[in-house]
Amino acid sequence: MNANDTQLILTPLLWQFMHDHEGYCVAGCCGADAFVIEAEGMKHWVRTHKSEVCEQVLKDLDQLIQSVSSIKEGKIISEWEQINQVWGPRDCANWLRSWETELKLVRQMSPEELAWDDPNFYEG
C-alpha cells in the first residue's frame, strides 16, 4: 500500500450484509465480481432482518460513500478477507452506490413484492 492509498473499512454490519450476497464466487477469489448486487437477491436478507438493521446498513453505506468520495488521490484498497479489490475512489464510490441503490429499491417494495421471490433469478 502506497502513502496515498486508503484502506476500505467496512462496519461489521455492512460486511455481514455484503458477505451474505457473495453469490457468483467468493470475494477472496473474485473480488467485487463475487457479489450479487441486485434488489431481487436482497429481498430475503431484508425480510429476515429488522427494519432498524436495514436502515443502519444504509447509513453505513452513505457514510462510506461520502468518505470514499472525498478522496482525491491514491487507491482504495480492500484486503482479501473482505472485498479483495483495489479501485480508484470514483469506481469504489460507484460500486458502493450500487449497493445503496438496490437496497433502497427493496426497502420501497410493497409487502407482496417483498414476499415473492422470482424463481428465474435463482436459476441464472
Average pLDDT, the chain: 91
Contact criterion met (CB below 8 Å) for 61 and 92: no
Q: What is the C-alpha separation between 113 and 49, in angstroms, rounded? A: 16
Contact criterion met (CB below 8 Å) for 74 and 112: no
Query: What's residue 122's pLDDT?
Result: 57
Cα–Cα nearest to 42, from 124, 117, 95 = 117
pLDDT reading at 57 higher than 90 = yes
Query: What's residue 120's pLDDT?
Result: 67
* Domain definitions of the chain by residue range: 6-117
Contact criterion met (CB below 8 Å) for 57 and 102: no
- pLDDT band with cut points at 50, 70 and 90 for residue 117: confident
* Predicted confidence (pLDDT) per residue in 33-48, tens digit: 999 999 998 999 999 9
Strand pairing category for 85-87 and 6-7 = unpaired
pTM: 0.90
- pLDDT band with cut points at 50, 70 and 90 for residue 114: confident
